[in-house]
Amino acid sequence: MNNSKLKKLFGEKNRFIFFFLLPGIVLFIAIYAYPLVQIFATSFTKWNYQNFLKPEFLGWDNLFSNYQKLFTVDKNFQRALINSIKWVVLTMVIQIPFTVLVALALAKKLKGWRLARNAFIIPNIISTAAIGLIFLNLYSPSRGIITEICEFFVPGSQVSVLASETSAFWAVTFSFILFGGSSCLLLLTQIFSIDPAIYEAARIDGASEFQLDWNIRLPLIRPMIGTVSVMAANYGLLLYNEIALITQGGPDNATYSLSYYIYKTAMGSTKLNFARANTAGVIQFLLGLILVGMINKAFRTSKAD
């Protein structure tokens, strides 16, 4: 590196930028990077209530022992992993298409569109804890409206949504899957930023509203769909509040998510198995990276697009 390059690197302007970045860098290292490295490192240790103050390295022969146990004997983890993947897939196949459809419909600016937009956003500005409690009451077998409705149509049906493994999974799923208000706002912003001249030209060529949506709006908001897909998939992968409040992982651990498993293993158990929980955390992190990579690849646009 020659003198002029060095001078430029440590020049007044860069020093100035560095000063502004410094608080962010310090916070990132202290709050994010250090714990992340620690999570990775302790996934190769024995660390529970017996050696709370001093994690013990498992040794090279047993390096992946925690990982091995998760995938071979720990049924709760396996269930949590499968559920989390299911929730990611469901957000991609239900929440994203539904949100895109709502955004396309709202973009037509039909009468009452503002009211509809605001109504769609309301669940996203309510805390997930409150949403969880609302759904818990909806599903309650003694006072919930779902049981009442089923009883009205099929007397004696005695439906208890949260008592069955299958229905409990869907009960948790529906407590968040249709709430794409924030994503919808982002998509709407993107749609409104499209040059109206493009629509004019298409209409002159005789394009219908469907063709405008299919051939103009959807291709042009594709990068934003990619962005909201990453956000939604992450939400599905990290799901915790709804489970903690509605099912507490039950019945029979059928609604465990990775986040809930991590909490239960580390803090919800008398054994305080931090090593096992951190191992699950590493898997969750890697899964998140893979997901983001896949979604980015799927929604990547080229010049040809």
Partner 1 sequence: MKKKVVSLLLATAMLATTIVGCGGSSAPAASDAPAEDAPVAEAPAADNGELPVINFTHGYFHSEAEWPAAAQMREIYQEFADMHKDEFVFNIIANEAGAEGIYNTALNDLAAGEFYDIADFGGWDITPVASAAGAILDLKPYLDEDPAFKNGVGVCYDQNLTADGAIYSVREQIEAVGFWYNEALFEEAGATVPADWKTWADFDAAVDALLAAGIQPVSLNAGWPANILLAGYNQRSADSRAFHLAGANVETFDTDAFKGSIDFMQNSVLKKIGVANFDPAGDSETYRDDFFDGKTAMLFNGVWDAGASVGCGAGDENVKPAIFPTDEPGKKAALLSGGCGFVVSSKLDEAQTAACIEFMKYMTSPEVASKIIAYGIGMAPGADINYDEVANSVDAPEAKLLVEACRLCNSADYKALGLGNAFGDYEGEIQSKYAGLKDGSKTVEDVVTELNEFMAAAE
Size of site (CB under 8 A) for partner 1: 48
Tell me which residues in 62-91 interact with partner 1 (CB under 8 A).
69, 73-77
Contact call for residue 28 and partner 1 (CB under 8 A) = no
Contact call for residue 223 and partner 1 (CB under 8 A) = no
Q: Tell me the C-alpha distance between 28 and 31, whole Å.
A: 5
CB of 243: closest distance to partner 1 in angstroms? 12
DSSP assignment of 92-137: IIIIHHHHHHHHHHHTT--TTHHHHHHHHHHHHHS-HHHHHHHHHH
**Residue for token digits 């096992």?**
276
CB of 218: closest distance to partner 1 in angstroms? 42
Contact call for residue 49 and partner 1 (CB under 8 A) = yes
E-strand stretches of the chain: 45-46, 56-57
Are 259 and 281 a contacting pair, CB within 8 Å?
A: no
Q: Tell me the C-alpha distance between 256 and 10, whole Å.
A: 51
Contact call for residue 270 and partner 1 (CB under 8 A) = yes
Q: Tell me the C-alpha distance between 57 and 50, whole Å.
A: 14
Binding mask 242-261 for partner 1 (x = CB under 8 A): ----xxxxxxxx--------
Contact call for residue 268 and partner 1 (CB under 8 A) = yes
Contact call for residue 29 and partner 1 (CB under 8 A) = no
| Cis-peptide into 223, omega within 30 deg | no
CB of 83: closest distance to partner 1 in angstroms? 14
| Residue ranges in contact with partner 1 by CB under 8 A | 16, 19-20, 22-23, 26-27, 30, 49-53, 69, 73-77, 136, 140-143, 147, 158-160, 162-165, 168, 246-253, 264, 267-272
